[in-house]
Structure 1
Amino acid sequence: MSLIIGRVWKYGNNINTDEIIPGKYLRSKDIQIFAAHAMEGIDPEFTKKFRFGDIIVAGTNFGCGSSREQAPLALKYAGVSCVIAKSFARIFFRNAINIGLPLIEVDIECQEGDKVKVDLAKGEVIVSDKDTFRGNKLPDFLLEILNDGGLVAHRKKLQRKKNKTIIPG
């Protein structure tokens, strides 16, 4: 995964999964419904002002609350290219990796609307082409899952590789 570049939408600490995708939408199985209501619990105008490829920057404990996998799905299908936070709730972190939503733990200083460049492989974020912040580099196996588009796609790729290496006897 190369550089992720986008405009910042900034939020605070303890953004929970109910704020990311309110519970009233969870009866749907339509991912586009989730996308249309992403961040509605904290920012009702989010999907109107957000542009595909923008980046969310938050404080500590992003994705806390229930373990609903619809929260990272809502962000991914709304067009969020990456979530940067000081820390993530562990289940949200793993759900995001599993569905192929890039994220990085790093404490950055930025303003809403700033342009940021995220290098997951290096574990760093560059704000407005001048300030570089280093955070936690994702382990190679998680980067590989993200590069493959999520856990299901990654497992399918591994299975295809395995099938190609079998030599009939």
Structure 2
Amino acid sequence: MANRIFGKVFVVKDNIDTDQIIPAQYLMYLPTVPEELEKLGSFALSGLPESSYPHRYVEAGKTKTIYPIIIAGKNFGCGSSREHAPIALAAAGCKVIIARSYARIFFRNCIATGAVFPYEIQDEFPQEIHTGKELIVDLDEEKVIIDNHFFALKSLGDAKAVIEAGGIFNYAKRSGMIPLKS
């Protein structure tokens, strides 16, 4: 059985910065404290302008999103280099982001934290992709399935194993780069 993520997508435009992903006033929540991590996730993408995004990523009063997949334009995660951004998205329930391109630091933070899979699309998505559309992301074959049509994702290569391990430190421990404590 393939390793797949099924679900609704949340579609965002180009140049979504880290202040839109997790506004600075919510950085007081500590991701290492479970209750605070949940609260941090409840504010994921709350910095998006309401005039451009009629649907909220996380509904008011909730801590989890109904959108495990984000479809983004170019330069997703630009702005400041905050590790909280991919962590907040994951805490809200995001599993994968598929973008035209990423800000380098955001992409690196996704891998280092193991929070979400940051894929880039190789093809153009069909115009009818909208917030709420359901699709499948096949992580093994690194492709998207929409209404029985397939769209290739750029491979994450060796970084995929780091994300699957839960981040760079877990990967280093599992692969023997960091000795386990006896």
TM-score range for the pair, normalised by the shorter chain length: 0.7 to 0.9
Higher helix fraction (1 or 2):
1
Corresponding position of 1:72: 86
| More moved, 150-159 vs 25-34 | 25-34
- Matching residue of 1:10: 11
In structure 1, distance between residues paired with 2:159 and 2:125: 22
Contact persistence 2:70–2:97 (CA under 8 A) = yes
Deviation of 1:85 after TM superposition, in Å, equals 0.7
Aligned-residue offset at 1:51:
3.5
TM-score (norm 2): 0.79
**1:154-165 to 2 correspondences below 5 Å:** 154-159=171-176
* Paired amino acid for 1:40: S
Which residue of 1 is the match for residue 46 of structure 2? 40
**Distance (whole Å) between structure 2 residues aligned to residue 67 and residue 116 of structure 1:** 30
The answer to whether the Cα contact below 8 Å between 2:96 and 2:117 also exists between their aligned partners in 1 is yes
- Unaligned segments of structure 1, at least 5 residues: 164-169
Partner of 2:119: 104
Equivalent position of 2:106 in the other structure: 92
- Further displaced range: 81-90 or 142-151: 142-151
Identical positions, percent: 36
CA distance in 1, matches of 2:102, 2:78: 7
Question: How many angstroms apart in 2 are the aligned matches of 1:55 and 1:23?
Answer: 23
The CA deviation at 1:162 is 6.8
In structure 2, C-alpha distance between the alignment counterparts of 1:117 and 1:34, rounded to whole Å: 27
- Give the direction of change, closer, same or farther, for the CA distance of 1:43–1:126 in structure 2 (3 Å limit): farther
In 2: Cα distance, 1:161 partner to 1:89 partner: 29
Q: Give the stretch that moved more between structures: 94-103 or 69-78.
A: 94-103
Tell whether 2:160 aligns with 1:150.
no
Question: Partners in 2 of 1:132 and 1:56 — Cα distance?
Answer: 17
Q: Is the 8 A contact 2:7 2:134 kept in 1?
A: yes
Contact 1:104–1:120 (CA under 8 A) maintained in structure 2: no
5+ long unaligned stretches in structure 2: 31-35, 51-55
Partners of 1:52 and 1:97 lie apart in 2 by: 23
Structure 1 segments of 4+ aligned residues over 3 angstroms from their partners: 49-53, 160-163
Q: Distance between the aligned counterparts of 2:57 and 2:178, measured in 1?
A: 41
Distance, in Å, in 2 between the alignment partners of 1:113 and 1:85 is 17
RMSD: 2.3
